[in-house]
Structure formats: C-alpha cells, structure tokens
Amino acid sequence: MWIKVQNINKKIDNFFSNIDALASLVFRFGIGVAFIIHGLNKFPLPPQGLIEYFDLSPIIASTVAISELLSGLILIISGFIKNPIGNLLTRISGLNISVLMVSILIFAHQDWLITTKLFTSEQIFLLIGGIYFLIKGNRT
C-alpha cells in the first residue's frame, strides 16, 4: 500500500514539476489584479470615500489609491523581469501590499482582529499574498 502511494506521489510530482512556476504566476496575477481593482475603485482622485470615512487629506487618500494600483501593476509586470531588478520590484510590491493591508486592518477593521471575520475576509489573503511576495521575490 505504502509503495503504491509513493508511486502515485512521484507521478504527481513529475507532472507538476513541469508547470511549477505556474502556481506563483497564478497567485501573482490574483493578488495583482485584486490590488489594481482596489486602486481603480478609488478613482477619480482624490477619493472622496477615503477622505470622508477616514478623515484623510486629499494627498494621503490619493497616495493610497495610486499605491494600490501601482503595487498590483508592478507585482504582475515584475514577474516577467527575470533579473535582480524584477526580484527587487516584486519584493517592494510585496512590502507595499503588506503595509497597506496591515494599515487597513488596524484603521478600518480593528474589530476583526483574531476573529473568524478576519480569517474569512479577502483582506487577510491579500496580506498573506503581500508577505509571500515580500519574502519570496521572484524565486520559483
């Protein structure tokens, strides 16, 4: 029985080893597109919703919208840059996404901390994605 499981496992590993990089690409596109959409939803600038809800200045509210949009775009584009610059851009995007998501959780959803609401929200997965790309960069 154990040998059959090992053989099946080897066949599955061999199959997926050919498309291993696809997993990071799919994850990169998912996180990147989500951030592009979040940023675009705050246009036209300055985003009145952020200004009114969080009492932000127009400059800070606009910076948030632009940084969300650019983080998503750079995360996707940097995946195709196979050199140290692409790796650095991926990590910078991951850092920016992580900082944005921690800020959002602290300022907009502090009542979610360590609750089921946090772990069933989109925000926690975007934070995890940001941390993933901050740590991993372009390594596949």
pLDDT at 100 over 70: yes
pLDDT at 112 over 80: no
Q: Residue 132: helix, strand or coil by DSSP? A: helix
How open is the CA angle 69-70-72, to the nearest 5 degrees?
A: 70
pLDDT at 125 over 70: yes
Report whether 3 contacts 105 (CB < 8 A).
no
pLDDT at 56 over 80: yes
pLDDT given for residue 18 in this prediction: 74
Q: In this predicted model, what pLDDT tens digit does every residue of 73-93 receive, in sequence order? A: 999 999 999 999 999 999 999
CA–CA distance, 111 with 116 (Å, rounded to integer): 11
- Return the domain boundaries, the chain: 23-136
Is the peptide bond between 44 and the residue preceding it cis, with omega within 30 degrees of 0?
yes
pLDDT given for residue 106 in this prediction: 87
DSSP single-letter state for residue 43: P
pTM for this predicted structure? 0.84
pLDDT given for residue 2 in this prediction: 75
Average pLDDT, the chain: 90
